Amino acid sequence: MSNLVVIGFDDEHQAFAMRAKLAKLQKEYLIEMEDVVVVTKDDKGKVKLHQAVNLTAAGAVGGSFWGMLIGMIFLNPLLGAAVGAGAGALSGKLRDIGIDDNFIKGLGETITPGSSALFVLVRKATPDKVLEELKEFEGKILKTSLTADREEALREALE
């Protein structure tokens, strides 16, 4: 079962820095994340989602490959690639994996302008080693599905 953790930051840069640190920890097999999203709110109050994986681009690449392959069968690979890229981009844009975008946007509306939040869906982790690595960041837990003792350990690491 996965756990959701949402951490708020006073500026826009710390959320990106923590996402980079978590990606490094994932390469070291200390944490396994299903999804990680940075949400920023500019001074005008506009909320922007920064997904770790661009599903639209991934869909376009996959679609163009399959479209070109099918196009080769019908002797028109360029048309097939173009149609496949369009269809793949559309399916990538409509497909949502991990944390629901509407939930992210809704919670993102509650943060103050000029700040950010990091949404992480954690599948597995080695808590003691991960928390030790995250002590350099100062954030505030906004929402979590962790147990009370694990939430408290995370709160202590971030304060």
Share of the chain above pLDDT 90, in %: 22
Could you tell me what percentage of the chain is helix, strand and coil, using 3-state DSSP and rounding each to the nearest 5? 50, 25, 25
Average pLDDT over residues 62-70: 59
State yes or no: pLDDT of 117 exceeds 80. yes
| Phi, psi dihedral angles at 132 (to 5 degrees) | -60, -40
**Span(s) in the chain for CATH 3.40.1520:** 3-53+99-158
User: Strand pairing partners for 140?
Assistant: 8
Residue-wise pLDDT for 70-114, tens only, equals 666 665 666 565 655 565 555 555 455 568 888 888 888 888 998
Checking if the pLDDT of 15 tops 70, the result is yes
Q: What whole-number distance in Å separates Cα of residue 150 and Cα of residue 158?
A: 12
Cα–Cα distance, 19 to 31 (Å, whole number): 12
Output the pLDDT for position 29.
Answer: 92
8 Å CB contact between 56 and 66: no
Name the pTM for this structure.
Answer: 0.70
Do the beta carbons of residue 47 and residue 108 sit within 8 Å?
yes
Could you read off the pLDDT of 118-149 as tens digits, one per residue?
Answer: 999 888 988 889 888 988 988 898 888 788 88
Contact 116, 39 (CB under 8 A): yes
End-to-end CA distance of the chain, in Å? 27
Spatial CA neighbour of 13 closest among 43, 40, 44, 49: 40
Please tell me the predicted confidence (pLDDT) of residue 57: 47
Choices 3.40.1520, 2.60.40, 1.10.3470, 2.60.120: CATH for 3-53+99-158: 3.40.1520
User: Above 80 in pLDDT, residue 50?
Assistant: yes
40: left (phi over 0), alpha (psi -120 to 50) or beta: beta
